[in-house]
């Protein structure tokens, strides 16, 4: 943008200049997002959840099972290398073989998708749930595993279910048009859970804790299971604090 990376400098730009700078980046998805600056955002969510204030907060957090498919709807970049991606996140050399054992016959593009789903959403969400539960908060975790016909269980596929609208342009991109059979039933179950949580502080499935680690799988029928990504969670180790 041609100005210092400060709030004051950016605030002085006209909106058109900010949008022009965004377009130059060529970033996939949105280039906007929170930045840990040590002042306004002092750390990642799981670090903020570690304090005593978390005990008085009820928290639902979750992810779709194939997050990266919605974050990069065109698919992984050409020549995507899961080993290089794993190394860039500081993972051990056995990370990709472990992912491969869990997905027999998967090629590099599919393993890259799974690993990036963990890096961008699934592990950060898990770390947040763990930190909140460890601090004594009442925590619920879910994995939205229902797969749409276009992008599978992609980032955003849960949104039409949450609002009970399977006919918007957004929904059609993920669900097809008309939405598949079962949409209305699963949407009703999801909305009942969210409204129950808003009204009572309990969405109606077992809480997540550091012992049983119970997780809701959103599909038809829904299921409550032990945390489904345990092997991958071990790969990632301790969450970063910055």
Of 130, 169, 152, nearest in space to 75 by CA: 152
Q: Is residue 49 part of a domain?
A: yes
Instruction: Report pTM.
Output: 0.88
> Do both 16 and 93 map to the same domain?
no
Our count of domains for the chain comes to: 2
Tell me the chain's radius of gyration from C-alpha atoms: 19
Q: Is residue 242 part of a domain?
A: no
Q: Is residue 111 part of a domain?
A: yes
Specify the CATH number for the domain of residue 172: 3.40.50.1820
CA distance 52 to 49: 8
> Do both 79 and 124 map to the same domain?
yes
> Do both 28 and 44 map to the same domain?
no
The parent domain of residue 154 ranges over 36-236
> Do both 14 and 105 map to the same domain?
no
Q: Is residue 59 part of a domain?
A: yes
Q: Is residue 224 part of a domain?
A: yes
> Do both 206 and 137 map to the same domain?
yes
> Do both 92 and 132 map to the same domain?
yes
Q: Is residue 208 part of a domain?
A: yes
> Do both 221 and 106 map to the same domain?
yes
Task: Kindly list the strands in the beta sheet with 214-218, ordered across the sheet, starting from the edge strand earlier in the chain.
Answer: 58-64, 138-144, 214-218, 223-226
**CA–CA distances in Å: residue 149 to residues 9, 85, 126, 173:** 45, 27, 27, 9
CA distance 150 to 145: 14
> Do both 51 and 125 map to the same domain?
yes
Q: Does the N-terminal peptide bond of residue 178 adopt cis geometry, omega within 30 degrees of 0?
A: yes
> Do both 227 and 166 map to the same domain?
yes
Q: Could you list the pLDDT tens digit for every one of the 242 residues in the chain?
A: 889 988 899 899 999 998 888 777 554 556 677 788 888 888 888 988 877 888 888 999 999 999 999 988 788 988 899 999 999 999 998 999 999 999 999 999 999 999 999 999 999 999 999 999 999 999 999 999 999 998 999 999 999 999 999 999 999 999 999 999 999 999 999 999 999 999 999 999 999 999 999 999 999 999 999 999 999 999 999 998 77
CA atoms within 13 A on the CB side of 155: 18
């Amino acid at each position: 943008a041609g100005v210092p990376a400060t709030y004051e400098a950016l605030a002085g730009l006209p909106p058109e200049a900010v949008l022009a700078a965004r377009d130059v980046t060529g970033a996939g998805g949105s280039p906007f997002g929170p930045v840990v600056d040590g002042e306004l955002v002092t750390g990642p969510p799981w670090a903020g959840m570690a304090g005593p204030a978390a005990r008085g907060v009820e928290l639902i957090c979750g992810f779709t099972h194939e997050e990266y498919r919605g974050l990069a709807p065109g698919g992984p970049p050409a020549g995507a290398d899961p080993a290089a991606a794993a190394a860039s996140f500081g993972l051990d050399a056995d990370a990709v073989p472990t992912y491969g054992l869990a997905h027999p016959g998967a090629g590099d593009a599919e393993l890259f998708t799974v690993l990036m789903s963990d890096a961008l959403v699934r592990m950060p969400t898990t770390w947040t749930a763990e930190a909140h539960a460890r601090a004594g908060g009442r925590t619920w975790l879910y994995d939205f595993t229902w797969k749409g016909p276009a992008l599978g269980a992609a980032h955003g596929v849960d949104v039409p279910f949450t609002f009970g609208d399977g006919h918007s342009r957004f929904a059609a991109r993920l669900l097809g048009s008309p939405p598949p059979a079962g949409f209305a039933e699963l949407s009703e179950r999801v909305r009942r859970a969210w409204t129950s949580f808003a009204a009572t502080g309990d969405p109606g499935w077992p809480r997540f804790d550091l012992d049983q680690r119970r997780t809701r799988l959103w599909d038809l029928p829904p299921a409550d299971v032990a945390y489904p990504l345990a092997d991958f969670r071990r790969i990632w180790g301790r969450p970063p604090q910055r």
